[in-house]
Structures are given as C-alpha cells and as structure tokens.
Amino acid sequence: MNYLIPFLILITVVVFIHEYGHYYFAKRYGVGVTDFSIGFGKEIFGWNDKSGTRWKVCWIPLGGYVKFFGDRNVFSESEQLEIINKYSEEDRNKLFILKPLYQRSLIVAAGPFANFLLAIVIFTMINLFIGKDMTPAVINEVQKDSPAFVAGLKKNDKIISINQNRVESILEVSTFINISTDEKIEFVVLRENQEISLYVQPILMESKDALGNSQKKRMVGIKLIPLNNEFQKNPLNPSKSIYYAFKEVWFVSTTSLKYLGNMLLGNADSSQLGGPIRIAKITGQVAEFGIVPFLSIMAYISISLGLINLFPIPMLDGGHLMFYLFEKLLGKPLKQKTQEGFFRIGLFLLFSLMFFVTFNDLKDLGLF
C-alpha cells in the first residue's frame, strides 16, 4: 500500500498530461471528443462538460484514452467510407478522420510531446529552485588491481568526460559508465593541468542501488568523494534551467533508445527492463525521500511513456504516425485490411513486451 498511492499519483499525472495533449489539439482543430478517460475498464466516477465530453476515471490505471466523435473504438480506426454518410454536414466537421493530414498528425503526436514537455517543466523547476549538482568528479581512491588501476587512473584525477559525454557532476560518472556497452570505456581526465585519455575495461558485478534494489552494474573500481563531503548544488537562472532541462530530456531519450537497440542486439542486460510492478516499487521507494526525488522519477517515467508511444507499432501513437506517413507517400490511406494486419502484428508485439517485462518484475520480486 505504501507503494500503491505514490504509483497511482504518478501514473495519473503522466497519463493525464499525455491524453490532454491529444485532447488540446483535437479541440483546437474542431474535432469532437466524446470521452477523456484515465484508466481502462469500468468507470469509477466521471462527469460531462459543456461540450459533451465525458471525463472519467476507470478501474485499471495502466493508461488512458481520448475517444473522438465518430470513432468505433478508442484507437480511432473507423472506416471512412462507411461512416461519412451517417452524419450531417455539421457533424462531419467534428470527425477526426476528415481532418487534414497535418492536423491528424499533430493531434496524435501531441500526446508523446506533452510527456516530454512535462519532463522539461519538472527539470526546469528543480534546476531553478533546488539547483543542479555541479560537484567536480575528482577520484578519491583507485582500488588496487581494479580495471581503473590497470588502465592507469590515479587518485586526484579530475574526470572531464566519459565516452565523449562531458562530466559536469560527480553524480554523472556512474550513469555514463553504465550506459556504455563498449568493451572499453574512454576516460578523459585532468592530471597536473594536462588532459589524458585512458581506456578502462569495466567488469559486470551484482550490486545494490541507493534504494536497496539488486542490479547488475558495470564497475571500474574508483571512489569519488566531493570536497569536504559537500555537494555543490547551485540554483540556476531561468535560461540555464531550461537549457539543462532540455539537455536532460534529450540525453535520457537518446540513451534509452541506444540501450534498447543494444538490448535487441544482445549487447545490453535485458533484465533491467521493467514494467508496472517495478515502476510501482521504485516510485514508492523514491517517494519516501521527498517531493523532489518523486518529481524527478515522474519526469523520467513521462519521458519513457513519450518515447514508447512514438515507436512505429500499431495501437501506439507512433503506429498512427506511421500510417499517416504511408498516406502522405501513397496519396491515400492504407486499406482497412492492411491496417488490420499491422494491428495484429502490433498486438502481438505489445503482448510479448508485456509478458517479458512482467516476467522481469516477478523475477525481481523473487518469484522466479
């Protein structure tokens, strides 16, 4: 129960923002919206607004949807020719499928990009009012016979970059090491006012994160301690706050895509990919540390939701955008049977992914 409430708050906010992105642009372009749902299944409670939209919360809190006027289902897959003649000219103006291609594309893309925007706002507020850590990454200890020792890293070396990722904070070192899938990691360090490049071959070890969860991490055998054991967290001005917020969203997005690519190629640990159970667990653990860590994990989950929805898989926003690309190239929409074939493939892929992440979640709980 300690994990459930923070998880429900997080998922409700992230899903609402996503669906509101769709809703906002749909209303902007005159599309009728009949339902705005947080969750799936039977309705718990809801209300109708002045325009006739039913706003509701349902029992299964693992997503949501916006249903457009004239749709046969929540995935907006109505056959155009069959439904056009059913409506008056006034009602036809509300139909999503009759809107210009660019408007339909913007309405669909607005959901994922609303998630990115939420993350940018959260990171900007944290940078502005709490600050961003700028503690120099200076090596305090190199363990004997460790990969770092063998490579030539020394105490008091200041780490400038890791695999061409500039290190601006001591907190980034572990992240840059673990996102790398190369056999050797390039460290650029400052030693006696000279920059030196060294290549370290990390080892994979089982360890526990700050929340006490077991995970496999790449280790090089160095210890970093901030000067006087104090982190340099400095509030930033508005422009820098926004800049670093965009930078973080871009970094998380590109890193996640690279990790997934390497995982599919067998070069990354697939056991780290989790689903709702692991998200709920981590959310509850992070929430115990306060509002700022909770908002941070909300931003990261929001980025993940935005990215996943942009994948070109039917049933996801990216799948719709893929169909619109075909429509642009062919000059007409794909045939309904073709779309249905794609949807069957998409359904299989989504169920396979759900099975895989659920298995990882249950394994993480010690049930396998």
Q: Which residues are catalytic?
A: 19
Q: For residue 190, how far is the Cα from the chain centroid?
A: 34
**Which residue type does 79 have?**
E
Specify whether the CB–CB gap between 138 and 157 falls below 8 A. yes
Q: Which residues contact 281 (CB under 8 A, 6 or more apart)?
A: 3, 213, 364
* CA distance linking residue 216 with residue 204, whole number of Å: 6
* CA distance linking residue 325 with residue 105, whole number of Å: 9
* CA distance linking residue 83 with residue 80, whole number of Å: 6
Q: Which residues contact 143 (CB under 8 A, 6 or more apart)?
A: 149, 221, 222, 223
Q: Whose structure tokens read 């249905």?
A: 340
For β-strands 132-133 and 233-234, DSSP reports them as antiparallel
Q: Whose structure tokens read 């607005």?
A: 110
* CA distance linking residue 176 with residue 327, whole number of Å: 41
H helices, E strands: number in the chain: 11, 12
The CA-based dihedral angle spanning residues 92, 96, 99, 102, taken in that order and rounded to the nearest 10 degrees: 170
